[in-house]
Amino acid sequence: MIVVTGGAGFIGSALIWELNRQDFSDILIVDHLGESEKWRNLVKLKFSDYIPREEFHKLLLENKLLTPIWAIVHLGACSSTTERDADFLLRNNFKYSQDICRYALEHNIRTIVASSAATYGDGSLGFSGDYALIPKLKPLNMYGYSKQLLDLWLLKNNYQDRICSLKFFNVYGPNEYHKGDMKSVVAKAYQKIKATGRMELFESNDPSIANGEQKRDFVYIKDCVKLIYHLLDHSGINGIYNVGTGIARSFNDLVKAVFKALNMPAQIDYIPMPDELNSKYQNYTCANMDWLEKVDYPGQFGSLEEGVYDYVKNYLDTNDPYLEP
């Protein structure tokens, strides 16, 4: 059995979609559904059971998980970069993750956990993925810091040789619809363009960068879960790694790709950046993905235009936008 925490969420449900495509359905989903619309992500997927997060955590701490577990993919976390409850983030993103990792190590369970590109802060130290860089990083928000703490804990205890931690960059794609304001710019752009024929982007807060030319490493969800599946199938690959395309693209490029997928002329307006974001804004991110060559990963990451086109034409612009195996 594979346990997927956060299995009803964006990356978690997409991973289950990929596992189903590979004819694997012996999956235990762990999540907190609450009053959210995350449950819709699960409707078309095949899995063995669902356990609420709190119940799973209790069973884990009491060593009462009776079902033999082959692997845990720990994707459950609060991913809001604007969450201000630091204690909640420490409990939910750091302490809970520690408990899962300890259990997995004690029971020799293949383990993959989610970190984040938010750990890199303003990017001034680069995005090399070098372990020597990790202690020097200064995240710009509490979410990034909660992920940074786990990576530091893994390094301090030399667990990076037995656990795979993945620093996801800007992931977009189907099944992110429940994320509200944390949805990708692709999803937001689609809604805005369909409603008004135009899209708004933040003005640049850096005189050396033109409006809309702030750049990110945008990575399509389908490419991410293919990589995770490969890592599950190759348990000897462990470490703290970036997950992105290795190519930085501008928000202008991203939005123009949405317009093109809708066969509409690009109409972009630039608006002032909110004060609360101005000091915490990353103007550039780009994952160093050299590690893929070292582990002989056979897959490839598609271009921004390919990912956006698939997302818009086959999901966003349809009556049924959810992933189906």
DSSP 93: I
Among residues 96, 103, 120, 143, which one is catalytic?
A: 143
Q: Compute the distance between CA of residue 142 and CA of residue 92 in angstroms, rounded to an integer.
A: 12
The single residue listed with the structure tokens 């995770």 is 228
Q: Compute the distance between CA of residue 135 and CA of residue 245 in angstroms, rounded to an integer.
A: 24
Strand pairing report for 170-172 and 218-220: parallel
Q: Compute the distance between CA of residue 41 and CA of residue 33 in angstroms, rounded to an integer.
A: 11
Catalytic-residue membership of 172: no
Q: Is 294 exposed, middle or buried (0-12, 13-18, 19+ CB in 10 A)?
A: exposed
What the block records as the tokens of 201 is 């982007």
Catalytic-residue membership of 190: no
Q: Compute the distance between CA of residue 33 and CA of residue 178 in angstroms, rounded to an integer.
A: 11
| Dihedral (CA of 6, 9, 10, 15) sign | positive
Q: Which residues of 66-102 are buried (b: 16+ CB within 10 A; e: fewer)?
A: eeebebbbbbbbbbbbebeeeeebeebbbebbeebbe
Instruction: Please give, one letter per residue, the 3-state secondary structure of 164-187.
Output: EEEEECEEECCCCHHHHHHCCHHH
Among residues 179, 188, 194, 280, which one is catalytic?
A: 179
| Residues designated catalytic | 143, 179
